[in-house]
Amino acid sequence: MLTEVQIKNAKPREKPYRLYDERGMFFEVRPAKNPKGSRFFGFKFRFEGRDRHMSLGTYPDLSLKEARELRDQYRKLIKSGIDPIAQRNAAKISVSRLGADTFEGVAREWYLRFSPNWSPSHAKTVIRRLEADLIPWLKHKPVGEITALELLAVLRKVEERGALETAHRELQICGQVFRYAIATGRSERDISADLRGALPPVPKSNHHAAVVDPKRLGELLRIMDGYQGSFVVKCALRLAPMLFVRPGELRHAEWQDMDLDNGEWRFLVSKTGQPHIVPLATQAVEILRELHQLTGQGVYVFPSARSGLRALSENGVLAALRNLDIPKEEMSGHGFRATARTILDEVLKFPPHLIEHQLGHVVKDPLGRAYNRTQHLEERKEMMQRWADYLDELRAGSHDN
């Protein structure tokens, strides 16, 4: 990895040269009339089978930390099937062509500014809601002139088609757009706040289905072991309850983030974008080493059967559970997280802060400071190994009585 000292001391030579960081980022120094030369950060990546590269920004205007954050944002776009070069070009065009003060102009500018920090699925959902329900009715209106009644009329169209929860979500999106408009000097107030209580409340629904009874969990594990489909999906089924990460994080796992020798998987949490470490129990390492023989030459640990350039589809694990006659009312892909949280706490008696930290949630110490990603790593390694061992015991029926 590059350091600030290396970058600061990089001098121009007769020919351009590069210093490499990680995950495709590099620092290039070119000869120039300026004694310091031309120095910039770049990003090399592969998209749809082609090698691509792009500039991230010049140094020192862009710091090493900022360059890495920008690289990670573009890597998220690539994971969701979006070409970061095309996306950046589209951002420049859209902002220049659209009226800067219209709802559409402000909404798209807000989206392009913040969406790289979101998970791919959330980014797709937000732009779909903007383009399907909000922009068609509000796009030409100056954002500072839209009234609460006009916005309510748009949201009621969504409510009337039976999508009340979507209407509430879109009210929240509008609130973020209006607050961005205020921050950028194009509106004076957030009118979405005037609509609190204007929409009927959403009926309460159950959380993600999850099994928390150890005996029944053992039965499900044995059922899952009998899966007769692809080896890739079978491995995902084995690892999902063992690692209890979010389903999208498991599907998009990359080999370059796996350190099987040290038993660690390091990646960015899809919901927060923060670095995260998943300790890999010996059982997980064994599964991954076997899978590496099949998919290790590609990017994804669990590639799609249709294209190795894409990750396993969102329905991969869910379809496998349904094919095994495990109903959605009993277990969902997300439910493995609730299963682990409950049993680790109530049965295995691990401290709640260790469990929450391993779930990728923000955990604070007694002074209110957030723990960093390496905090309590040794304790979490012990917990994850005990959890994997416990799952084996349940699978074997050791706790049925």
pLDDT tens digits, 216-225:
899 999 999 9
Number of Cβ atoms within 10 Å of the Cβ of 9: 8
Peptide bond into 60 cis (omega under 30): yes
Cα–Cα distance measured from residue 308 to residue 188, given in angstroms and rounded to the nearest whole number? 49
pLDDT digits (tens, 9 = 90+) for 228-282: 889 999 999 999 999 999 888 999 999 999 999 999 999 887 666 678 899 999 9
Sign of CA dihedral 318, 324, 327, 332: negative
Q: Which residues contact 126 (CB under 8 A, 6 or more apart)?
A: 111, 115, 118, 173
Tokens of 366: 């007694």
How far, CA to CA in Å, does 23 sit from each of 43, 70, 252? 8, 12, 15
Contact between 294 and 340 (Cβ < 8 Å)? no
Name the residue type at position 190: D
Q: What's the whole-number mean pLDDT along residues 42-57?
A: 87
With beta carbons less than 8 A apart as the criterion, state whether 332 and 318 touch.
yes
Residue 368 is predicted with a pLDDT of 47
**Averaged pLDDT, 321-331:** 82
Is-contact 281 238, C-beta < 8 A?
no
Tally Cβ neighbours within 10 Å of residue 250: 23
The H or E element spanning position 24 is none
d(CA 55, CA 27): 10
Task: Looking at mean pLDDT, say which of 42-46, 323-327, 335-339, 360-364 comes out highest.
Answer: 42-46
Rounded Cα distance between 152 and 110, Å, is 21
Tokens linked to 296: 């290790």
Chain Cα centroid distance, residue 162: 29
CA proximity to 247, closest of 307, 301, 314 = 314
Between residues 227 and 33, the one the model is more confident about: 227
Most confident of the ranges 33-42, 100-109, 381-390: 381-390
367, pLDDT greater than 50: no
Query: When comparing pLDDT for 399 and 93, which is higher?
Result: 399
Strand partners, 54: 43
pLDDT at 92 over 70: no
